[in-house]
C-alpha cells in the first residue's frame, strides 16, 4: 500500500482542523489537573483519589484503545474524530456539575472515551493525506495542537478563565460547550472528503482511487500482535505515557508543595508544555531529513531520564527546576510524534493498519498513563514526599532508551 505523493489543500485543511480538535480534547483533559488544588479542596478528595481522577482518561484507553483503533480503520478518520469530539465536549461540560469523586471520575473517563476517536483518528488521517517521508512532520503538527491545549489549560484556564468565569465549574462547562460547537465545524469540513469513510480513506492511501477489499478483524489483530517492532514500541509507549501523565498531572501540585506560589507553579508547568512543543517541532523534521527514527527514540529517553531526575534534586531552586523541566519537556516532545509515526512506516503495518497498530500501542501504553498519576499520588500519601515518585519516573527514561535501541528501523531509515 502506498501513500499520496503530495498533500492536497483539503488534506492540509483537515490536518489543521484536526490539530485544533486535539487541542480542544487536551484542554478539557488537563483542565482538571490545572484546577486540582481547588477541586481537591471543594470535593474533599485525598491525594490518591485526586490521582485516580487525573488518571481516569488514560485508564479508559486501556480497555478501549485497541477496539477504537479497529473501529477507526473501519469507519474512517473523519467520522471517528467527529464522534469523539462530540463526546469529549458533552462529557467535559457535564463535569461542571460533579458533586464528588465518583461523578467526577466517571465523567472524566467519558471524556477519555471520546478522546480515543481523536487520538487514533489523527494518525489514520496522516496516513491518508501525507506522503510517507513527511509523516513525522505532519504528526508534529497535531501533536503541537495537543501541547497547545494542555498549555492553555494551565496558562489560560486556571489563571485567567478561572477568575473571569468564577471558578473551575464554569470553566469546565463553557469549554465543553465550545468543543461541541467545534465538533460541528469539523463535521462540515470533513463530511464530503475521502477521509470521512474507511473505504474512501484506504482508497486514497492506495493512491489509485479504487476501493480496497475488506479485511478480517482477526487477521488484522494477528498481524499487529505478531510484529516484533510494534511490541517493542508498546514498551516504549507504556513508559512514555507513565512519565508524561505522572509528571504533567502532578507538576503544579509538586511545585506548590515545595513552596512556590500557584502562579509560579502554573508557569513552570506551562514551561514543560512549551519545552515539549519545542521537541515536537524540532525533532521529527530532523528525523525526516536525516531518515533516522531509532536514534531519536534513544535520545529522547536519555533526556527524559535527565530532566525528571533533575526534578528530584532541584528542590526549591527555581533555576534548577526550570532547567530540569525544559530538558524533560524536550525529551517527551521528541518522543511523542515518533510513537505515532513509526506504525505508519513499519514494514508489515503501513497505512492500512495504522489505526489498529496505534490502538494497540495506546491500549497497553495507557496502563502506564493511568499508573503514572496514581503512582505519584499514592507514593506521596505513603512517604510525604514527591521525590520517590519522580525517581521512579526518571528511571522510566532509561527503559525507553534501552527498548528504543532494539526497535528495528522503519523502511528507508538509516539508524
Q: What angle do CA 144, 147, 152 make, to 5 degrees?
A: 125
62 versus 264: the higher-pLDDT residue is 264
Q: Does 54 map to a domain? A: yes
- The reported pLDDT for the residue numbered 178 is 97
Q: Does 414 map to a domain? A: no
Count of domains in the chain? 1
| Confidence tier at 6 by pLDDT (50, 70, 90) | low
Category of 214 on φ-ψ map: left (φ > 0), alpha (ψ -120 to 50) or beta? beta
Q: Taking 70 as the threshold, does the pLDDT of residue 238 lie above it? A: yes
Q: Taking 50 as the threshold, does the pLDDT of residue 206 lie above it? A: no
Q: Does 3 map to a domain? A: no
Percent of the chain with pLDDT over 70: 87
Over range 312-324, report the average pLDDT: 89
In this prediction the pTM is 0.70
Secondary structure letter of residue 44 according to DSSP:
T
- The reported pLDDT for the residue numbered 409 is 65
Residue 38: which CATH number?
1.20.1250.20
- The cell numbers describing 186, all together, are 469539523
- The reported pLDDT for the residue numbered 217 is 65
121 versus 192: the higher-pLDDT residue is 121
The residues, any chain, with a CB within 8 Å of residue 235's CB and separated by 6 or more, are 399, 403
- The reported pLDDT for the residue numbered 134 is 67
Q: Taking 80 as the threshold, does the pLDDT of residue 402 lie above it? A: yes
172 versus 205: the higher-pLDDT residue is 172
Q: Which domain holds residue 248?
A: 9-206+215-405
Q: Does 4 map to a domain? A: no
| Confidence tier at 357 by pLDDT (50, 70, 90) | confident
Amino acid at each position: 500500500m502506498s501513500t499520496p505523493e503530495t498533500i492536497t489543500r483539503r488534506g492540509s485543511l483537515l490536518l489543521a482542523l484536526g490539530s485544533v480538535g486535539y487541542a480542544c480534547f487536551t484542554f478539557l483533559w488537563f483542565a482538571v489537573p490545572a484546577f486540582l488544588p481547588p477541586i481537591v479542596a471543594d470535593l474533599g478528595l485525598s491525594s490518591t483519589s485526586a490521582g485516580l481522577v487525573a488518571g481516569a482518561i488514560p485508564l479508559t484507553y486501556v480497555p478501549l484503545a485497541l477496539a477504537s483503533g479497529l473501529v477507526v480503520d473501519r469507519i474512517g478518520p473523519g467520522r471517528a474524530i467527529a464522534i469523539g469530539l462530540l463526546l469529549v465536549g458533552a462529557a467535559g461540560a457535564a463535569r461542571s456539575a460533579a458533586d464528588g469523586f465518583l461523578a467526577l471520575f466517571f465523567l472524566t473517563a467519558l471524556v477519555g472515551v471520546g478522546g480515543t476517536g481523536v487520538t487514533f483518528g489523527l494518525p489514520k488521517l496522516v496516513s491518508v493525506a501525507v506522503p510517507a517521508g513527511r509523516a513525522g512532520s505532519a504528526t508534529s503538527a497535531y501533536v503541537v495542537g495537543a501541547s497547545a491545549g494542555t498549555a492553555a489549560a494551565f496558562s489560560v484556564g486556571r489563571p485567567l478563565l478561572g477568575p473571569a468565569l468564577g471558578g473551575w465549574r464554569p470553566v469546565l462547562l463553557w469549554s465543553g460547550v465550545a468543543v461541541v460547537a467545534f465538533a460541528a465545524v469539523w463535521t462540515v469540513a470533513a463530511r464530503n472528503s475521502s477521509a470521512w469513510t474507511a473505504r474512501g480513506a484506504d482508497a486514497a492511501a492506495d493512491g489509485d482511487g479504487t476501493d480496497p477489499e475488506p479485511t478480517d478483524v482477526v487477521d488484522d489483530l494477528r498481524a499487529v500482535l505478531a510484529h516484533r517492532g510494534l511490541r517493542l514500541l508498546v514498551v516504549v509507549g507504556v513508559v512514555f505515557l507513565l512519565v508524561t501523565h505522572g509528571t504533567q498531572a502532578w507538576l503544579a501540585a509538586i511545585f506548590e508543595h515545595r513552596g512556590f506560589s500557584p502562579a509560579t507553579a502554573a508557569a513552570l508547568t506551562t514551561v514543560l508544555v512549551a519545552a515539549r512543543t519545542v521537541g515536537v517541532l524540532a525533532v521529527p523534521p530532523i528525523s525526516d531529513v536525516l531518515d533516522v527514527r531509532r536514534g531519536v527514540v534513544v535520545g529522547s529517553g536519555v533526556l527524559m531520564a535527565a530532566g525528571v531526575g533533575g526534578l528530584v534534586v532541584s528542590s526549591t531552586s527555581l533555576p534548577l527546576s526550570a532547567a530540569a523541566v525544559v530538558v524533560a519537556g524536550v525529551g517527551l516532545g521528541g518522543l511523542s510524534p515518533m510513537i505515532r509515526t513509526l506504525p505508519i512506516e513499519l514494514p508489515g503495518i503501513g497505512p492500512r493498519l495504522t489505526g489498529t497498530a496505534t490502538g494497540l500501542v495506546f491500549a497497553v501504553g495507557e496502563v502506564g498513563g493511568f499508573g503514572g498519576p496514581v503512582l505519584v499520588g499514592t507514593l506521596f500519601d505513603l512517604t510525604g514526599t514527591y521525590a520517590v515518585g519522580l525517581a521512579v519516573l526518571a528511571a522510566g527514561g532509561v527503559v525507553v532508551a534501552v527498548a528504543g535501541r532494539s526497535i528495528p528501523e522503519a523502511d528507508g531509515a538509516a539508524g
